[in-house]
Amino acid sequence: MGLPEILQMMLAKSPPASLRLSVDQSALASNWRALDHMSGTALAGAAVKADCYGLGVEACVPALRDAGANEFFVAHWSEVSDVARHVPPAQIAVLHGPLIDADVAYACATGAVPVINSLEQAIRWAGGGGGRCHVMVDSGINRLGLSPADLADPAIARLDIDILMSHLACADEDSAMNARQLARFQQITPQVNHRRLSLANSAGVALGSKYAFDLTRPGLSLYGGIPRPELAEVIRQVATPQAALIQTRQISAGDSVGYNATFTATHAMRIGVVSLGYADGILRAWSGAHFKYGECELPILGRVSMDMIVIDLSAAPDLREGDWVELPYFLPTAAQQTTLSQYELLTLLGTRLK
């Protein structure tokens, strides 16, 4: 291919995709406001890591910002630049902290705030001229975070700590672990100079005001997840995958559908193929579920393929190629249908949907 052909291809506008992800920004904003209200005197922040749990920074961060969020949390330094297109870097915290000197240099250059998780990170941050930071202390989940015994180290005393935080392990359950972590966090906090405290995630917000402190850090429930029943009445669905029919056909009794012929028709029926599959995060665990067209349910037939799913069009006989159907994505129900967690259902959604 020569240069003229390459330029022509680059200038050509791509045709509309045959799959898309509908993100309800008003529902997203409503969910943040509900979680902020449930946080009492604490302010609700927003976990926007993993491209806003798979729903897209471009769609989600402006809606969260405009709703009132002003503290945003990502996992990796590589996520900062996308979020910083919409909010000041000083409002972005990086949960994995400064792993190498280049992370320190980047934080100092941009103003993004590291979360310090170890004595090594504390020394690296202070040695690189770092200023304001947050500190994660482990209260029982045993993932990232300083051990309580590390808090007496002089390296921690040298830090300018804004938020001292920890993370709940079992907030989505009625577990004694919640009270134990709360008590441990309350014992830890007087040992370190700090300006603000933070413990609760989405499920932690539902545990009540004593878990809220100064800042809560909801993630899942912003995007429609309901980890505890107390949230069921206030959290709205945000994401809906949609796909166009790319073919319809008639099959006869005895005809099978899809890989390994796991579905065989017992009667003549009209079927359709949608351009969606496990490459888009709709895994084979969805087999046996259904799509919808208005109020009509369109069962999935056979196995989910990489980028195609076959559906039964019996309930909507007028559907034709190019018509759009949607996959019900109310996360608690979808989790029961697929045995996937609500977190996985969101973050598995593929880039082609966006």
Pairing of strands 160-165, 196-198: parallel
Q: Is 259 a catalytic residue?
A: yes
Which amino acid makes up residue 93?
A: A
Q: Do residues 22 and 58 lie in contact, with contact meaning Cβ atoms separated by under 8 Å?
A: no
- Displacement of CA 19 from its chain's centroid (Å): 20
- CB under 8 Å, gap of 24 or more: what pairs does 253-258 form? 256/302, 257/301, 257/302, 257/310, 258/301, 258/302, 258/303, 258/305, 258/310
Q: Do residues 204 and 179 lie in contact, with contact meaning Cβ atoms separated by under 8 Å?
A: no
The full DSSP string for 168-233 is -SSTTS--HHHHHHHHHHHHHGGGS--SEEE---HHHHTT-GGGTTTEE---GGGGT---SGGGTT
User: How many Cα atoms sit within 13 Å of 311 on the Cβ side?
Assistant: 34
User: How many Cα atoms sit within 13 Å of 73 on the Cβ side?
Assistant: 22
Catalytic option among 13, 49, 278, 354 = 49
Q: Is 343 a catalytic residue?
A: no
Q: What are the catalytic residues?
A: 49, 259
